[in-house]
Amino acid sequence: MILQKLVELYNDSVIAKEIPSCYDQKEVRWIIELTPDGRLAGFTPTMDDRGKGHYLPVPHLKIRTSTKVDPILLCDESIYVFGKPEIAKAKKAHDAFKKLIKECSDKTEDETLNAVVAFLDNANELMKCYNEIAKDKRFRAKDRITFRVIDVLPIHREKIKEFWYDRQYAKELSTMQCLIDGEQKPVMERLDFQIRNVVPGSSGILISFNKPAFTSYGLENSLNAPTCKECGEKFTKALNSLLDSKSNSMLIGNVKYVFWVKEGSSVDIFKILQFPNSEDVKEMLKSLFTRKRFDLMVSPEDFYAIALSFSPPIRVVLRDWIVSTVENVKECMSQYFQGHRIYNSFTKEPIVFSVYGLANAIISANERDRRMRKVKLLTDNEEMRCHYRRRQDAYNRTVTRLISNAIKGDILPSWICSQAVTRCRVERSVPPNRAALIKLWYFTNNNNNTKEDYMVSLEQENKEPAYLCGRLLAMLESIQFHALGKVGSTIVDRFYGTASSAPASVFGPLVKGAVVAHLPKIRKDRAGLETNLQKELQSLVIDLSGFPKTLGMQGQALFALGYYHQRAAHFAHKKEDAKETVNHNQSPINQ
């Protein structure tokens, strides 16, 4: 179970040493400085230039409602620390805060607490401190405030930690078998610790049951999945540590992915998914075919990943989890990059894309959609908001599937290919990232060829009718360009949609137009070029031996790849010819 692995991560990491039990890492923005006899020596703001306070291990308290007074030992909001006599709730909160500290002082006999109690009993010193802090423009009512007595933070004293631990575990709990460690022990009706920042600013719990349909055997809330306090605290702290680490987490839409390996939580492998480096990809692909080791991670141990989403108001949803090994992940990632690697005529070499770049292939590139993405949900137009949400959901689902393919080797679903080929028909173009996405889908669903350069560039030996039809359309476009130059509406602009779905209905007239009108015009000025184009056109028509009446989704995917490969090859030849012409003109013979 993945929660057991999180508990193991907590036990093996520095989290357990740095953050005591029943403590949590929280932002503390103000520290009140006290003398040993409880007099005010000043206060220290901990904020940096960006306004962020210093994070310290402080006593943790479960969810506190706005109606209930529930103080936190030695570190709380201003309403608890200072109180205001004119506000009934503030006075009640301050009295409860002071009572808790006195109780702790009586039981621990800690000398630093005597100073804190003396300060809280002195109303003049208390209000003087509040007035000084309130003058600072950075002060907010919800700021956490703690105390320091001669360079000693009482919240970090061992006796005080033990007091808070005993107080938190003093409640009587039901005894059941813990879901995580399997032992009979007191279990929590509701988990105390919350999972933070699944999406920015969110906090919630992973185990909760709040509807009758989710309960069983009369068990309510978290008792349906009984978890002891220690295990609940450990897996939550480990998960929060991963969520806070940029090298171990990745937010995609509303889904947060966290990754770690058994020994050490540093994972570099997912940087390559977001920012693929050409040299790393080359080494990874080489290792796939030569079986030469590619050390992308330092640890050869087991690999774990979790996908989380947040469901308001306080529920965290476990979408997916992966338990694998680093070697398996590296092999799946090698297959992923091999699957979508495709030739680019501008770089003159195969390129790869990030998961975001591939997912963008299903999103419209026209100006209307770019404006819509900018306004997002700020517009008052309900139709536009719904359209944006649908497009964003499709994007998020695509990225999720791509990551599953890269990590686990899952087959891409057909709807990804359907959206990509539909976008090709609508925009009447096949950009590199869309061709790469279509190739990846075709590779994962028809992996009958494992050679290294499979479908990377133009494949002369591929005699699939759909692939040949795509190449033929690119050839006709090239012939039209050489004959007429740039025109307002090309063959592709007018006929791509029909040619990719019903080739037999358009290719006859198009080929006839090229032979009768375009090729003779080219022959007048560039006879050699006309001969080469005619040979290529004739070869494609002979290989086809007839045009398919219709093409299904897989056929349209092959059509798009054929069109892209042929067009990229034409652009590459065109650049080489231009370079040779420049070199010839600059040679000493011609000067």
Residue 80: strand, helix, or coil: helix
The residues, any chain, with a CB within 8 Å of residue 547's CB and separated by 6 or more, are: 465, 469, 503, 504, 507, 508
Task: Describe the crossing of helices 553-585 and 414-427 by its angle, rounded to 10 degrees.
Answer: 50
- The H-or-E segment that residue 303 falls in is strand 302-311
Per-domain residue ranges of the chain: 2-12+170-244, 23-168, 250-445, 465-583
Closest Cα to residue 473, out of 543, 560, 368?
Answer: 560
Using CA of residue 124, residue 129, residue 132, residue 137, what is the dihedral sign? negative
Count CB neighbours of 581 within 10 A. Answer: 10
Distance of alpha carbon 530 from alpha carbon 515, whole angstroms: 10
141 and 84 Cβ atoms separated by less than 8 Å = no
Any idea what DSSP says for residue 32? E
User: What confidence score (pLDDT) does residue 197 get?
Assistant: 85
Q: Could you tell me the two tokens for 557?
A: 């995917």
Burial (CB count <10 Å: 0-12, 13-18, 19+), residue 571: middle
Q: Could you tell me the two tokens for 39?
A: 């007099």
User: What confidence score (pLDDT) does residue 412 get?
Assistant: 92
Interior angle at CA 396, CA 390 and CA 400, nearest 5:
145
Distance of alpha carbon 157 from alpha carbon 493, whole angstroms: 74
- Secondary structure (DSSP) of 501-528: H-GGGTHHHHHHHIIIIIHHHHHHH-HH
The residues, any chain, with a CB within 8 Å of residue 222's CB and separated by 6 or more, are: 187, 188, 189, 190, 191, 205, 207, 208, 209
| Amino acid (one-letter) located at 18 | E
Closest Cα to residue 551, out of 477, 475, 464?
Answer: 464
- CA distances, 21 to each of 59, 232, 540, 574 (Å): 9, 11, 73, 68
- pLDDT tens, N- to C-terminus, the chain (591 residues): 788 889 888 888 777 777 888 898 889 999 999 999 999 999 999 998 888 899 999 998 876 777 788 899 999 999 999 987 667 788 889 999 999 999 999 999 999 999 999 999 998 999 999 999 999 999 998 899 999 998 899 999 999 999 998 888 776 678 888 988 888 988 888 787 888 888 887 888 887 776 776 676 767 777 778 888 889 889 999 898 888 887 788 887 678 888 887 764 444 566 667 666 656 665 655 554 443 444 444 445 688 888 888 887 778 888 888 888 877 887 888 888 888 889 887 777 888 888 888 888 888 755 335 434 444 444 445 555 555 555 666 777 888 888 888 888 889 999 999 999 999 999 999 999 999 999 999 988 876 555 667 888 888 888 999 999 999 999 999 999 988 888 888 999 999 999 999 999 999 999 999 899 889 898 888 888 889 888 989 999 898 888 999 999 999 999 999 999 999 988 876 655 544 443 434 444 343
Distance of alpha carbon 318 from alpha carbon 202, whole angstroms: 15
Q: How far is CA 564 from the centre of its chain?
A: 29
First to last CA, the chain: 77
Distance of alpha carbon 1 from alpha carbon 517, whole angstroms: 69
User: What confidence score (pLDDT) does residue 390 get?
Assistant: 58
> Which 3-state string (H, E, C) describes 335-367?
HHHHHHCEEECCCCEEECCCHHHHHHHHCCCCH
User: What confidence score (pLDDT) does residue 266 get?
Assistant: 46
Helices assigned H by DSSP within 13-69: 15-18
Distance of alpha carbon 159 from alpha carbon 164, whole angstroms: 9
User: What confidence score (pLDDT) does residue 466 get?
Assistant: 94
311 and 206 Cβ atoms separated by less than 8 Å = no
> Sheet harboring 302-311: ordered strands across?
249-252, 255-261, 302-311, 315-325
Question: Could you tell me if residue 485 is left (phi over 0), alpha (psi between -120 and 50 degrees) or otherwise beta?
Answer: left
What size, in residues, is the chain? Answer: 591
φ/ψ of residue 174, rounded to 5: -70, 140
State the Rg of the chain over Cα. Answer: 33
